[in-house]
């Protein structure tokens, strides 16, 4: 996550400086054209430089084919996915721009702070090696910052909300980077190879469905309830996910799954 976040920081600064001196429709067209050319360069680079893989045999698998030993792990993943699906970026930006009437510079500062937080979070997580306690603390921290953000925005003035939003985005992206690395170090790599495709493939399918329906649900919540209720819901989901991850780590569900599969293969 270090390199992608650094790239976004420099990209935002580069295009931000361009638009700062010429905020016109023509310049926006040029920026979009440059972005399109970058995508084209990526396609050409991948086509000519990335080694070709061997032919792969794909087999269709139902979600219910997930081994029972991995139900808790899949549940932990889906809670995280659902939490983030309820708080797409456009919900926050809509609140800042259309409700608080903030300037575009605030959005730029927020995006830059998010990427800086991602860089720092990656460095911190890699330095401490991804402990089990760090995984649980990062998920619990995500719950705290999201719930606090909701209540601060309900009870504070515009200037305080803007300042705290920048702090909130920084902390949430910092903890998200820590969670991602610790999650890969403590959980992801322990899934046995013989079931990894089934488990991760099923999670990917459910993630795709969730990310399709998530923005619709998030928009409905923001429209009919409050623009920031989704952040409260996400904070509650993060809190619920702490004991679920604790069950995965404490009871060694993945290790047990690996052992049971090995026994079946031996028999």
Domain with CATH 1.20.1250.20 in the chain: 63-266
Indicate the range of 38-42, 98-102, 262-266 predicted with least confidence. Answer: 262-266
Residue 111 has pLDDT above 70, yes or no: yes
99 vs 95: CA distance, rounded Å = 5
Residue-wise pLDDT tens digits, 154-201: 988 999 999 999 999 999 999 998 998 888 777 777 777 778 778 888
- Look at 117 and 263; give whichever has higher pLDDT: 117
77 φ, ψ (degrees, to nearest 5)? -65, -45
DSSP assignment, residue 187?
T
pLDDT score at 57: 53
Residue 245 has pLDDT above 80, yes or no: yes
Residue-wise pLDDT tens digits, 203-231: 888 888 998 999 999 999 999 999 899 99
Indicate the range of 104-118, 123-137, 251-265 predicted with least confidence. Answer: 251-265
Residue-wise pLDDT tens digits, 32-81: 888 888 888 888 888 887 777 665 554 555 555 777 888 888 899 999 99
Average pLDDT, the chain: 82
**Whole-prediction pTM value?**
0.78
pLDDT score at 195: 80
pLDDT score at 10: 76
* Domain covering 63-266 in this structure, CATH number: 1.20.1250.20
Question: Among 173, 176, 118, which Cα is nearest to 2's?
Answer: 118
Cβ partners under 8 Å of residue 133, min gap 6 = none
13 vs 203: CA distance, rounded Å = 35
pLDDT score at 145: 95
Q: Are 240 and 174 in contact (CB under 8 A)?
A: no
């Amino acid at each position: 996550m270090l390199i992608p976040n650094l790239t976004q920081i420099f990209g935002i600064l580069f295009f931000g400086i361009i638009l700062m001196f010429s905020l016109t429709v023509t310049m926006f067209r040029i920026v979009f054209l440059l972005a399109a050319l970058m995508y084209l360069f990526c396609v050409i680079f991948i086509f000519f430089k990335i080694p070709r893989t061997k032919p792969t045999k794909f087999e269709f698998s139902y979600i219910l084919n997930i081994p029972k030993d991995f139900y808790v792990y899949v549940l932990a993943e889906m809670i995280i996915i659902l939490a983030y699906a309820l708080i797409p970026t456009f919900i926050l930006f809509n609140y800042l721009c259309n409700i608080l009437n903030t300037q575009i510079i605030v959005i730029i500062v927020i995006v830059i702070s998010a990427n800086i937080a991602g860089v720092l979070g990656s460095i911190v997580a890699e330095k401490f090696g991804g402990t089990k306690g760090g995984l649980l603390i990062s998920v619990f921290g995500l719950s705290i910052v999201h719930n606090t953000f909701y209540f601060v925005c309900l009870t504070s003035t515009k200037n305080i909300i803007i300042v705290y939003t920048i702090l909130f985005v920084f902390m949430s992206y910092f903890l998200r980077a820590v969670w991602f690395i610790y999650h890969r170090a403590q959980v992801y790599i322990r899934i046995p190879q013989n079931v990894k495709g089934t488990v991760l493939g099923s999670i990917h399918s459910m993630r795709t469905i969730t990310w399709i329906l998530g923005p619709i649900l998030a928009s409905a919540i923001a429209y009919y309830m409050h623009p920031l209720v989704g952040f409260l819901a996400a904070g509650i989901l993060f809190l619920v996910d702490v004991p679920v991850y604790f069950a995965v780590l404490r009871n060694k569900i993945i290790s047990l799954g690996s052992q049971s599969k090995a026994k079946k293969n031996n028999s």
